[in-house]
Structure 1
């Protein structure tokens, strides 16, 4: 057991961020898991969405731009995929399960 001699020996500061800004665009991916062959991506903005889908080995299997249309995943086999969504500089990564 290690003890400090004086309270001044211990730094009580915490790791923090002074300014926290919320992501202006929230993304949702549904239905997940999917069996229909299509996935909807909902955002607060109506601008184009760049979507990249990767398999579990990291190989890109879909790279497309959507304009208020569902993502067609009917060409993919059942399994788990990683979806990278980018719109107006806001990026998020989601897990997609295809049954």
Structure 2
């Protein structure tokens, strides 16, 4: 291939979200860093990834689809498990609920946080942060206007002190 072309990367069974999911391949060797975001209840295993794009061929364009298996480790294989005291787990209880999802104009996140300093971020499927909002432990709910974003899939991530507390797919119609 002598010209760059756009491709899409996906996972066959939607057990993980891959970011970026769309990128341009340049002629020659390419190194692409992909973030894998597991969707509950994923525990690791072999996944089939699909790389597809329309490539120029002679006078026309052809759809090129390549499937390959990737072994994504879970804690039961090469990952490390850590013991946590039961009292530590309950010392900072959190809960999250996102609705409506899919959404058209606005989406509401209801949450319960014991500590301050949490943030909500929205990522598009290229991995780019498109919105960020501080969450207060006293508010318990935040409504986000999403009508300015194009239809598609996004990731919502709640972080506190560098730790991901919650993540969820958001579909905008």
Contact 1:25 1:90 survives alignment (8 Å): no
Runs (4 or more) in structure 1 with deviation over 2 Å come to 15-23, 44-49, 65-69, 86-90
Correspondent of 1:70 among 143, 150, 153: 143
User: What's the counterpart of residue 168 of structure 2?
Assistant: 94
Using structure 2 for the length normalisation, give the TM-score.
0.40
Using structure 1 for the length normalisation, give the TM-score.
0.66
Number of corresponding residues: 84
Q: Does 1:58 align with 2:127?
A: yes
Q: Greater CA radius of gyration, 1 or 2?
A: 1
Alpha-carbon separation, structure 2, partners of 1:62 and 1:90 = 16
Alpha-carbon separation, structure 2, partners of 1:87 and 1:70 = 19
Correspondent of 1:38 among 96, 106, 109: 106
Deviation at 1:56, TM superposition (A): 0.7
Correspondent of 2:152 among 76, 79, 87: 79
5+ long unaligned stretches in structure 1: 1-14
RMSD: 2.8
5+ long unaligned stretches in structure 2: 1-75
